Structure 1
């Protein structure tokens, strides 16, 4: 499925069934990410929220391999996060946001992380969420992923990214206008 902004157009029954089957298989293969959670309860929430299924389909289509990594007992929401081993392949070579994209005079990237995430109906991980994700697996050992930059850093032209190197998780800075083939972004979705 190609990533497009068609949130008003629900997934076809075939697309929905294929997505749910893939999410269930990943859920069952990675129990350590979500101990104590029950797929039937998650599926029921998903089926009641077709717009969230659309966003998950976009995460899947861009190589994110979304999976459940948490449950908010107060709201009942489940947290889906991109769990691909490396930064999702369909979201690399992008700068941080529209302002950064427009500031480039030459060699502009194809897009920016913040606009892509918004079009998909997801949010970039925060630095804290990125660290928490790294506790349920090892991600970005060869790539890196943009994470949400605090306003004071962004105001000065910077942005943040994370990766895992030498057995440790690093959050570091770069100019928001920079982009690399090995840097994309990971998203989160509350359902």
Structure 2
């Protein structure tokens, strides 16, 4: 599992490389954001080096972040992990820190909630996950933890989603469980 990198800013070379990757992905997936202009997104990104660092971490862990919407009320672009399968560098994790601590044997290296917090991103909600799935078909072989209501979590459960048989499914599992094919997708507002 990839270790989260430090909170240092990107060099100018790293910034240029990341912006190039993001622009190419943006151009390739215009159906994700038909009414959004890349120049406006780039202006926001260049003004927020801390967000660029987070996007770089999303990229380094296999998330392939891309813009999926613009929130006019907050004047923020919203990036989701858009990799075909749940990001490779964020798999084999249980749901949260409490679940991680509850395991006596065979603990995973980390939890989805811990990794998301370390990276500075939010786990997708079920609604956001379903919105992503309307853009394309994701998680055909993997699954992704999603935010879980507190009443479910208090009873030891957690929720995850995937796409099978042409449909998006919401499931439950013990929060302490982890599988090689389950990770998490996140979002970042810039």
TM over 0.5: yes
Question: Would you say how many aligned residue pairs link Structure 1 and Structure 2?
Answer: 189
| Residues 1:79 and 2:104 are matched in the alignment | no
Q: Deviation of residue 74 (structure 1)?
A: 1.2
Map of 1:158 onto structure 2: 157
CA distance in 2, matches of 1:137, 1:95: 26
Question: Tell me, which stretches of 5 or more residues in structure 2 are unaligned?
Answer: none
Separation in structure 2 between the aligned mates of residue 25 and residue 5 of structure 1, nearest angstrom: 24
Q: CA deviation at 1:4?
A: 2.9
1:160 touches 1:174 (CA, 8 Å); kept in 2?
yes
* Residue 54 of structure 1 pairs with residue 53 of structure 2: yes
Provide the C-alpha distance between the structure 2 equivalents of 1:64 and 1:3, rounded to a whole number of angstroms: 14
Q: CA RMSD in A?
A: 0.9
Does 2:109 match 1:110?
yes
Residues 118-145 of structure 1, C-alpha deviation per residue, up to 9 Å, x if partnerless?
Answer: 1101010001000000000100000000
- Give the aligned partner of residue 176 of structure 1: 175
Aligned to 2:4: 4
Write the distance in 1 (CA, Å) between the matches of 2:54 and 2:160. 23
Q: What whole-Å deviation, never above 9, does each CA across 1:149-177 have from its counterpart, x for those lacking one? A: 01111000000000000000001100000
CA distance in structure 1 between the aligned counterparts of 2:171 and 2:16, rounded to whole angstroms: 39
Deviation at 1:3, TM superposition (A): 4.8
**Off by >4 Å, runs of 4+ in structure 1:** none
| TM-score of the superposed pair, with normalisation by structure 1 | 0.97
Q: How far apart are residue 75 of structure 1 and its match? A: 1.4
